[in-house]
Structure 1
Amino acid sequence: MTLISCLSFSCRRHDRVTNTSFYFWKTVYKANKTESDYLKNLHSHKLYMRIMDVDMDESGSTPVPVSPISFQAKLPDTVEMVPVVFIVNNILKVTTRSQLNALAGNIVRFVNGKVEQAGKTSFTELQIDCDWTASTRENYFYLLTQLRQVKELKGKTISATLRLHQLKNQKGSGIPPVNRAMLMCYNMGNLRKYGEQNSILEISELKKYLGNNVTTYPMPIDIGLPLFSWAVAFRSKEYIGIAKRISLDDLNNKNQFVAIKNNIYRAKTNLPDYGLKTNDEVRWENVSAGNLQATATYLSPLIKADTVNVIYFHLDEATIKAYTYDNLEKTAHLFR
């Protein structure tokens, strides 16, 4: 074998196992043909389902479930359920160790009940979602450690979401005591800043956080990619919120808006249904298939794990119809 062929062989990367999945972030699950077709056509055998938020009760003294999911239909037999529980960061500032001990057990019991409602007998992974900070990491990591001690979770995978600032600032944020991390590659820009930027996903912004921080992270990393869009509203160039119920078709309605820049529109009249007044401006932000694929191309060589889960946020008919099966399959394929 020649030197050139030896080098070529040694540099060739073995195929990585890449699994395509979706988040389900609605409070009601029911049968939906379009959503089911996306799962089927992308060979998605897992669905990461938000079970509940955990926040303090009205008295501010006890952690309780908030807006839990309900099931109007059973999950398909071909789809495994990964329960996801969102922990509101502020509760970790005031909870005691004894409360966290109780919370770990309560989370598992609540999750088990919802898994049963979904028509499943068990699950193999529990994911915890929390935007923890340096000031709350001790309590958060303690809660994760207590979850690992719960008898019903023995032998199961516990994963945690990982935001970009937590990845970059590992010294301050710490490394969560879990089996896998799910890197949220979205919501990275300054949403409140007036301008033409895309705060959902911009490669230039992503590069500020990733690089060697991904390669050296001490556990397998999965990738969360955005499929959503939103309309960011400004009044006199000051942020006033996300304008609800606005679509791109609405913004292109010349009776209501005028386009003034690449992705910025100005209201021509008062639009109370959208919470807008005359001359308010709206920045339309979405994620193109090309942007998803550029992200995958950049990220793929940084990931060293033999298996990676690519998880799209989220499985919702109105959202996913903007992407073809080929769009999403090609993105996932770039991680292989």
Structure 2
Amino acid sequence: MKAISYLLVFLFIISCTKQEKHPYTFYYWKTNLKFNNIEKDVLTKANVPFLYTRFFDVDKVDGKFEPVAVIIKDKSFDTEKEIVPTVFITNRSFINIHKEEISFLAKKVNDLIKKKIADYHLKVNQEIQIDCDWTAGTRDDYFEFLKQLKKISGKQISCTLRLHQVKDKNLTGIPPVEKVYLMCYSTSSPLENSDKNSILDLNILKSYLSKLEGYPIKKIEVALPIYSWGIVTNHLGKHKLINALSTKDLNNRDFKKISDNEVEILKDGFYFGNFLNKGFKIKVEEISEEQLENAIQFLDKKIDTYNIIYYQLDSKFVEGRIF
């Protein structure tokens, strides 16, 4: 009986020390704000009260700032979550930008966010998130933009943080925000010939984030991937992407299986909305539960507490996945 008692105490201690699952929610990155029942159900179960929703992109075309793919809303887009407006801005928008243009851009971004909130009666919180892959050459102007946007909007401004911006922080600088969102995906280019998973390779992640605990901004949330895609390679070795493909899509009698996640096309035809020739190859990259768990275990050693924002909320990516 004494041995059984010791065993029960040991199991109790182990269960208590096991870390609780991280609170989580999602990014929503579609131009047409529209939910199906699967997406509604998964979002309802998420225990962070926010949905990070992309409102529009900003690019510079012929020297002028242009909003790109501005959201439209369907009546099915109904949620109790508070919306966090998120805006992607191309890095080239800040190349050779003039000082007066920075304030102009901040005002226009804030005005369009406010317009979309009013147009669609969106329930938002007090945060605006900016997503930009800034570099050493654009950092000062981008950081000034973040300051101007905070002043103009009166909101808390946060921004995304890419892996190279952690590793090379002395070059790329530290953004003037209180909270960053660490993007733990796109660890390499899918358009290069590589046997690595370009969405998430744990060895690359560990290499870039080896000194993450020393990053000056301590409020770090984590963005993790649940998306997938297919990489098509033609006869010349050139690549293109087909979004949202999974390995089950490779079950086709016109495909010859090369490996668990790669096939060769046996017959010219339209596949997944694209005309693909005989001899082309399709390699699917997707993220398993094990890959996510391994990434989380590593991040737990680097960050004390954090929420997870999964990219992205789409029934193709969330159905059947355990969060």
Answer whether contact 1:194 1:234 (CA < 8 A) is retained: no
- Name the CA distance, whole Å, in 1 between partners of 2:50 and 2:136: 32
Matched, 1:280 2:280: yes
Matched, 1:38 2:42: yes
Q: Residue 128 of structure 1 corresponds to which residue in structure 2?
A: 130
Question: CA RMSD for the aligned pairs?
Answer: 2.4
Residue 183 of structure 1 and its aligned partner are, at CA, apart by 0.7
- Name the CA distance, whole Å, in 2 between partners of 1:184 and 1:237: 32
**Letter in structure 2 aligned against 1:158:** I
Change beyond 3 A, Cα 1:322–1:257: farther
Q: Residue 52 of structure 1 corresponds to which residue in structure 2?
A: 56
**Letter in structure 2 aligned against 1:46:** F
Q: Residue 108 of structure 1 corresponds to which residue in structure 2?
A: 110
TM-score normalised over the length of structure 2: 0.87
Using the TM superposition, name which of 15-24 and 64-73 deviates more: 15-24
Answer whether contact 1:45 1:79 (CA < 8 A) is retained: yes
- How do 1:242-281 residues align onto structure 2 when only pairs under 5 Å count? 242-243=241-242, 246-253=245-252, 255-273=253-271, 274-281=274-281
Answer whether contact 2:246 2:285 (CA < 8 A) is retained: no
- How do 1:1-336 residues align onto structure 2 when only pairs under 5 Å count? 18-57=22-61, 60-73=62-75, 76=78, 78-120=80-122, 122-150=124-152, 152-153=153-154, 156-212=155-211, 214-219=212-217, 220-236=219-235, 238-243=237-242, 246-253=245-252, 255-273=253-271, 274-304=274-304, 306=305, 308-323=306-321, 327-328=322-323
Equivalent position SS for 1:275: strand
Residue 133 of structure 1 and its aligned partner are, at CA, apart by 1.1
- How many corresponding residue pairs? 306
Q: Residue 6 of structure 1 corresponds to which residue in structure 2?
A: none
- Name the CA distance, whole Å, in 2 between partners of 1:181 and 1:211: 17
Answer whether contact 2:25 2:51 (CA < 8 A) is retained: yes
Answer whether contact 1:39 1:45 (CA < 8 A) is retained: no
TM-score normalised over the length of structure 1: 0.84
Answer whether contact 1:230 1:284 (CA < 8 A) is retained: yes
**Letter in structure 2 aligned against 1:280:** F
Q: Deviations over 1:86-127 (max 9, x none)?
A: 001111113211111111111111111222334235521110
Change beyond 3 A, Cα 1:200–1:303: same
Change beyond 3 A, Cα 1:262–1:120: closer
Answer whether contact 2:229 2:241 (CA < 8 A) is retained: yes
- Name the CA distance, whole Å, in 2 between partners of 1:99 and 1:51: 21
- Name the CA distance, whole Å, in 2 between partners of 1:261 and 1:77: 41
Q: Residue 9 of structure 2 corresponds to which residue in structure 1?
A: none
Q: Deviations over 1:238-263 (max 9, x none)?
A: 2321135754333121x221111342
- Name the CA distance, whole Å, in 2 between partners of 1:235 and 1:283: 12
Change beyond 3 A, Cα 1:293–1:247: closer
